[in-house]
Amino acid sequence: MNKKLLTLAIAGALVPFALPATAMAGVTVSGYAHVSVDSLDNGAVGTSHSGSYISNNLSNIVISGDTDIGDGLKALFSAQTYLSLGSNNSPPPGNPAGFTYDQFSNGNTYAGIEGGFGTVAAGRNDSPMKQLGRDIDLFGNEIGDSRNIISGPGGYGFDQRPGHTLFYVSPDMSGVTVKAAYTLENSDLSTGVGLSGTPTQMPSRKGSESSVSAVYSQGIVLGGLAYEYHSASIYGTSNAESAVRAAGAINFDPVRVTALYQRDSNLEGVSSASLNVWGVGVAYTFIPTYAVKAQYYRAGSIGGTSNTGADMYAVGVTHTFSKNAEAYLDYAKTSNNSSASYSAFAGGHGNNINGGAGSDPHGVSLGMIYTF
C-alpha cells in the first residue's frame, strides 16, 4: 500500500471518533484542579480525633459556549461538574457525618441569553450573595475559607448554589454590576436536603430564595452590598430568614486588604435569632512569586442565646509557578464558645472533621492548584 492510500485508510478509520469542527465552534473547556495534603484535628472537648488526609477541594471541569442569534443577542450555556481526584473514600473513626466522600455532581449549570441589557439565564448558579463573598476571600476552597463563619451556624446558610433558579446579570455600568436571582419554590431548599444533588428522601417542606447584589469594581477598589431572603416555609415557621452582606477590597500592589460585615436575621426561622459576623484579611506579595496572607473572621453570639460565638484565624504562604499553577501552605484554627460548633475546614475544602460544641478545630494544609 503506498503512502497516499495508507493516509486515506488511517483518516477513514479515525472519522467515527472525530468531532466535526462546527460541533466545537464557540465552545470552551476550562477547569480547576485543587488537591491538598492535610493534617487535621477536630479539637473536640471530649474525645478528639486527628489524622492526615488527601483532600479534593472542588476540582471541576466547565464546558461553556455561546452563539450569535441575531439582533445583537447571543445564546449561551455553561455546564460545570465536580470531579474526584482520589480523595480517601473512608470516613475517619467516629466522624462519618463530618467527612466528604468522592462525588460527581452538578455545579453552575445553566442556559440563557445575553445582549445589551445584560444576561438572563435559568438553571443552577451561585447566588449573588455567595459571589460577593467569593470576590474577597483570601483562602477560597482552602482551610480557613471564610464560609466556615459567614455561611451561618446551621440550617440553610447564606452561600448557596440553588437549582430551579432564574438570574440576571447587568452590563457593566461605569464599574457597577447588578445581579439578581430568584429560586422557585422547590424541594432543593428544604432543611437538611442540600443543594448539590438528588434528595435522599422527599422533604416535607418547600421554600423559595431571593438574592440580589450591587458590586463596584474599578481600578484598585472593589466594594459590594448583597441581600438574601429565605422564605419562612423552608423552616415551617412564620419568620423569613434573611441577611445583608457588605464586602470590599483595596489592591495597592503589593498589598491587598479585604473586609466583610454581615447581619443575619431570623436564623432558621426564629424571630429573635440575629447574628453579626465580620472579618478582615491582608495579603502581601513580598517577591514576585511569593505572597503571605492572613485573615480573621468573628461570629458573635446568636440573639437570645449565650456562648454561641466563634473566632477563626488563618495564615498562609503562596508560591505562584505561573498564571495557571500555584502551591500553598496554610494553617487555620477556629475557637468556638462552649455552645458553638463552627468549622475551620468546611467551605469548599474536601475533608471536614467536626469536633462539636466548644471544639477548637485546627490544621495544616499543603496544596496545589492548577487552572486551565
Ordered DSSP codes for 144-160: T-THHHHT-SSSS-SS-
Q: How far apart are the C-alpha atoms of 243 and 267, rounded to whole Å?
A: 9
Positive or negative CA dihedral for 286, 291, 292, 294?
Answer: positive
Summarised one tens digit per residue, pLDDT across range 81-115 is 888 775 544 444 444 444 444 444 578 999 999 99
In a domain? residue 29: no
216-230 confidence digits (pLDDT tens)? 999 999 999 999 999
What pLDDT, on a 0 to 100 scale, did the predictor assign at position 107? 87
Say which amino acid occupies 18: A
| Residue 32 counted as domain residue | no
What range defines the domain where residue 271 resides? 46-371
- For residues 156 and 345, the model is more confident at 345
Return mean pLDDT, the chain.
85
Do the Cβ atoms of 260 and 252 come closer than 8 Å?
A: no
* pLDDT digit string, tens, across residues 117-153: 999 999 999 999 999 999 999 999 999 999 999 998 8
CA dist 223 and 71 (Å) reads 34
Q: What cell does 193 get?
A: 436536603
> What is the reported pLDDT for 364?
98
User: Is 27 part of any domain?
Assistant: no
**Do residues 267 and 239 lie in contact, with contact meaning Cβ atoms separated by under 8 Å?**
no
Does a structural domain hold residue 35?
no
Query: Which phi and psi angles does 302 have, rounded to 5°?
Result: -70, 135
User: CATH number of the domain that 97 lies in?
Assistant: 2.40.160.10
User: What cell numbers appear for 330 in the block?
Assistant: 496554610
266-286 tens-digit pLDDT: 998 899 899 999 999 999 999
Q: Is the pLDDT of residue 162 over 50?
A: yes
Sign of CA dihedral 47, 52, 56, 57: positive
Q: Is 14 within the bounds of a domain?
A: no
- What pLDDT shows up at residue 87? 54
Query: In angstroms, rounded to a whole number, what is the distance separating the alpha carbons of residues 242 and 253?
Result: 36
Residue 163, domain member (yes or no): yes
**23 belongs to a structural domain:** no
Among the listed ranges 9-23, 26-40, 327-341, which one has the minimum average pLDDT value?
A: 9-23
* Number of domains the chain is built from: 1
**Residue 186's pLDDT is what?**
65
Domain assignment present for 162: yes
